[in-house]
Structure 1
Amino acid sequence: MNFSERISGRDITKEMKAFEMRAKVLPPDYQTAWKEIIQNLWIYGDSTGRNLMPIFDSVLELLEVTSEDGQSIDEVLGDDSKGFCAALVGDEGAKTYRDKWREQLNKNVAKKLGGLT
């Protein structure tokens, strides 16, 4: 990946397009699950989403293998796709980007208030 692709985010766009092409050959119920997983995982990404690319790749590989084995999507993910995604990123206590921003804002406010007293 070159510098301009990294700065512009085109590297992520290319990876996501490649993931989407792979997902198009999955059965319809797997495609629906893939879309839900992507939506549920984005909130755990950093500002660029690069930290999620290996996770997306692994999840898509799991879906490809299990669909080839003939398993149903419920056997693979269970009935809680949000819980599945939370477990992927490090358990239910994993912080979303909103949590991280809120924590940083609180630290900045506390620092400013502490400096005034």
Structure 2
Amino acid sequence: MNFWDTVTGNDLTREWQAFEARAESLPAGHLAAWQEIKNRLFPHGDFTGRNLMPILDGVLGLLEEAAAEGRGAHEVLGDDIDGFCAALAGGEGARDHRDRWRERLNGNVAAKLGRLGG
């Protein structure tokens, strides 16, 4: 990966297209699980989503392996996809981008008010 690709996000685009091409070969149940997992993990991504790429690669590999072995997505992921995604993102109550932005905003406001009041 070169600097220009990193700055422009071209590397992420290529990687994302490769994920989607791999996912297209999954059976319908596995593909539905892939779509749901992506939707549940996106709020835990950073601005670019770069931090999610290794996680998504691992999940897609797990689904591909399960399909190759003839196991269903439900059998591999369990009943609780929300819990599965929370565990991948760092556990129950994992911080998402809204939490990080809220903390930054609150810190900035507190700093400004501290300067005005003192």
Task: Give the equivalent residue in structure 1 for 2:17.
Answer: 17
The one-letter amino acid of 1:49's match is G
The one-letter amino acid of 1:3's match is F
SS of the aligned residue for 1:7 comes to helix
Task: Give the equivalent residue in structure 2 for 1:109.
Answer: 109
Identity of aligned residues (%): 56
2 CA distance for matches of 1:81 and 1:36?
A: 8
When normalised by structure 2's length, the TM-score is 0.94
Cα deviation code 1:17-63 (max 9, x no counterpart): 00111111110110111011111111111111111111011000100
Q: Which has the higher helix share?
A: 2
1 CA distance for matches of 2:13 and 2:41?
A: 16
Q: Please list every run of 5 or more consecutive structure 2 residues that lacks an aligned counterpart in the other structure.
A: none
SS of the aligned residue for 1:111 comes to helix
1 CA distance for matches of 2:23 and 2:29?
A: 11
Tell me how far 1:79 sits from its aligned partner.
2.3
Note the 1:55-66 alignment, pairs <5 A.
Answer: 55-66=55-66
SS of the aligned residue for 1:68 comes to helix
2 CA distance for matches of 1:18 and 1:40?
A: 20
SS of the aligned residue for 1:47 comes to coil
Task: Give the equivalent residue in structure 2 for 1:50.
Answer: 50
The one-letter amino acid of 1:46's match is D
Q: Please list every run of 5 or more consecutive structure 1 residues that lacks an aligned counterpart in the other structure.
A: none
